[in-house]
Structure 1
Amino acid sequence: MTMALTTGLTDLVRESLGAPLAEIADQHVDLLGSGPGALSTTSLHRVRGTTTCGATWSFFVKTIHSIRHMPGYADIPEPLRTAALAHFPWRADADVYLAGPRLPRGLRLPRLYRLDDLGDDRLVMWLEDVRVAPATWDLDRYRAAARRLGDLAAVQPVAGRSSAPREPINRGLRYYCAGPLANLFLPAVRDPATWRHPLVAANADPLLQADLLALADRIEPLLEALDRLPHTLVHGDASPANLLIPADGSADFVAIDWSWPYPAAVGFDLGQLLVGRAHTGDLDPADLPAVHEVIEAAYAAAVAGLADPSEVSFGYAATLVLRSAWTAIPFERLGQEPTAELHDLFRKRAGLARFIVDLGRSLLP
């Protein structure tokens, strides 16, 4: 972090502590990284210290950028590069903090203390460094999270139920399917070499590739069916890692890393809630059915005035398929050393893919 980013730090410390006369005694900057898959995140830092009176302070500092600053952007073929620049919502997280959306009881944002515009489509967010309570993601925790996400959908509807086709509303999902999915992920699924790789061959069932490819033929019908559902504003990446449990009890969850500034069908946020810990290998495939059942029921109860259970079930399953079926197996890690730990991750991720495929096969005739 450059010294330019710490300009006015004393004022931020005073504001965060509610102490207008506080003075900084010492300060430290810890580099936390940018996180895997964070295409628009330049860096994450923790800036912390103490005051001359002995009070401690800390900020979570997130630097984000347009996708054109992403490493490897120049290697993307021109038509895809132009589409990515036009559609990738690199500043979605910052815009949510600036807008201060209506949130349901039990869900809050971290406080945004300052937003620095560095120019050239680069922003720095100075955020509350949320102290997180030790917590286990058991079924009760999943149930509570799904309920809060349903409450979020219920307070932010953007389109009601309609029995007739409408103008396509799933702009974000359609961009994803026509862009990254069609040009990056599906080609990897179609490539026979992918399935001959020892990490895949040893852990995926023999029918998984054929089932994934058959499901790919249903992408457009699924999108069309989703357009007929009630839509809401959503978090977009509501994985357990982005639903912090604050130690001060100020909310059930502090929602961070908002990523989807588009309307989405009811049930949309449940997909990332399900797959988040499965992606990291912390949730075993054997536990997916129980989590799936719990979160769908809790969310459906929360949105009962907006959508009926069948609409929630379809919206959840269809968006889960479109976003996660063909990315469940971590093909991007095929070049790594095939350790026992990596084999275990591929086993779990192949199990996740099988669960999503089986769910998806029941969606359309």
Structure 2
Amino acid sequence: MRWVPGDGWVLLAPAKGVAHGGVWRTPDGTVVKRLVPGDERPGRYGYWRRQAEVASSGVLEWTKGLRAPRAVKVETDPDGITLWTEGVVPGPVSVDEAAAALGRFGLNRVEPANWFARRILRDRLDDDAAHGGWAGCATADVLPADVRRLCGELWTRRTDVLRELDRLPHQLVHGDIHPPNLLRRDGDDLIAVDFDQFGIGPLGFDLGYLLQSTRAPIAELVAAYQAGSSEAWSAADVRRGAVLTAAITLVARAAWALTQPDPGEHLERLVAQTPIVDEAVRHASYKAE
């Protein structure tokens, strides 16, 4: 029998992407997320079973900085997986609170499982290369000339960027930090959702994703991150990881958006964050020479 939502369930988020089959709230307040089959490679960023693994392991119900809502049950059927988690009432989260929570999250020590994502940016760049790279950004008249030039340089130096990220300390990462995934504060920590790319990544990775969703100065975010982590790492390294991650992601998303009927906000974000892309190119250029 084909899986269908229960009676009285309220749709919170429609299906999107490859493995996301929708999110609902049940009459008793439980949140249900449906996962549909996709990439079966456990280490890849798009591994479709990862959120079920996170819920079943319980690993993110005790971590500091970020925590996942308590898992109620995980049900598998021939068509996919259904996750049941406790409902969480959203509340305000400032960007400084988010950055500080990410700093604390990086301090957690967890033995990596085989289903942890390990090479999110490298996998995404490999996928982009298989589809022609970021050539659209180099010729898009809707982008300023300096932005087009920086996009081309960043693509050319992408291996140097990855090498720089590999040199940084590696730690737990949420993998897809942006405000809608940060539900509310819980003491000094934040309740977060959508750990579909959770795993191990370079220092500053999550901060780089957060950077794309705010106009807050990067120096402010790094300072908050340092406060949350009790300055466990150098501010220069945190900033380098965030800048390199943000730049790769900003340009990659813009390149994808240019292939869509409505590019949406990705081009605007790229233009607004041009200094971040320029800084990333300078990091890669300096190390490559």
Q: Secondary structure at the match of 1:307?
A: coil
Partner of 2:67: 108
Partner of 2:122: 174
Q: Secondary structure at the match of 2:29?
A: strand
Q: Secondary structure at the match of 1:88?
A: coil
Q: For each residue in 1:197-219, what CA deviation from the matched residue of structure 2 results, as whole angstroms up to 9, or x when unmatched?
A: xxxx2xx3222112210111111
Query: What TM-score does the superposition give when structure 2 sets the normalisation length?
Result: 0.82
CA distance in 2, matches of 1:346, 1:231: 28
1:1-365 correspondence runs (5 A) = 28-34=8-14, 38-48=17-27, 57-67=28-38, 88-101=46-59, 103-105=62-64, 107-120=66-79, 122-133=80-91, 135=92, 141-156=94-109, 171-180=119-128, 183=131, 186-190=134-138, 192=139, 195-196=140-141, 201=142, 204-245=143-184, 252-276=189-213, 283=214, 288=215, 290-304=216-230, 306-328=232-254, 331=257, 334-336=260-262, 345=265, 348-364=268-284, 365=286
User: Whose helix fraction is larger, Structure 1's or Structure 2's?
Assistant: 1
Q: Contact conserved, 1:147 with 1:302, CA < 8 A, in 2?
A: yes
Q: Contact conserved, 1:28 with 1:47, CA < 8 A, in 2?
A: yes
Give the greater-gyration-radius structure (CA).
1
Q: Contact conserved, 1:329 with 1:350, CA < 8 A, in 2?
A: no
Q: For each residue in 1:274-295, what CA deviation from the matched residue of structure 2 results, as whole angstroms up to 9, or x when unmatched?
A: 223xxxxxx5xxxx2x342221
State the shift of 1:40 in Å.
1.3
Task: Note closer, same or farther for the CA distance 1:334–1:33 as it changes in structure 2 (3 Å cut).
Answer: same
Q: Contact conserved, 2:42 with 2:50, CA < 8 A, in 1?
A: no
CA distance in 1, matches of 2:205, 2:163: 15
Of structures 1 and 2, the one with the larger relative CO (CA 8 A, separation 6+) is 2
Partner amino acid, structure 1, of 2:224 = A
Query: What TM-score does the superposition give when structure 1 sets the normalisation length?
Result: 0.66
CA distance in 2, matches of 1:326, 1:355: 16
State the shift of 1:237 in Å.
0.9
Q: For each residue in 1:264-311, what CA deviation from the matched residue of structure 2 results, as whole angstroms up to 9, or x when unmatched?
A: 1111101221223xxxxxx5xxxx2x3422211121333356422221
Partner amino acid, structure 2, of 1:62 = K
Q: For each residue in 1:51-88, what CA deviation from the matched residue of structure 2 results, as whole angstroms up to 9, or x when unmatched?
A: xxxxxx212111012226xxxxxxxxxxxxx9899662
Partner amino acid, structure 2, of 1:175 = D
Give the aligned CA root-mean-square deviation in angstroms. 3.3
Q: Contact conserved, 2:168 with 2:237, CA < 8 A, in 1?
A: yes
Q: Contact conserved, 1:67 with 1:85, CA < 8 A, in 2?
A: no
CA distance in 2, matches of 1:332, 1:43: 26
Partner amino acid, structure 1, of 2:103 = G
Partner of 1:53: none
CA distance in 1, matches of 2:110, 2:223: 19
CA distance in 2, matches of 1:173, 1:360: 14
CA distance in 1, matches of 2:127, 2:70: 34
Long gaps (5+) in structure 2: none
Give the count of matched residue pairs: 280
CA distance in 2, matches of 1:319, 1:181: 17
Partner amino acid, structure 2, of 1:110 = P
CA distance in 2, matches of 1:363, 1:110: 38
Partner amino acid, structure 2, of 1:147 = A
Q: Contact conserved, 1:106 with 1:252, CA < 8 A, in 2?
A: yes
Long gaps (5+) in structure 1: 7-26, 49-56, 69-81, 160-168, 277-282
Task: Note closer, same or farther for the CA distance 1:255–1:270 as it changes in structure 2 (3 Å cut).
Answer: same
Percent of aligned pairs with the same amino acid: 25
State the shift of 1:329 in Å.
6.4
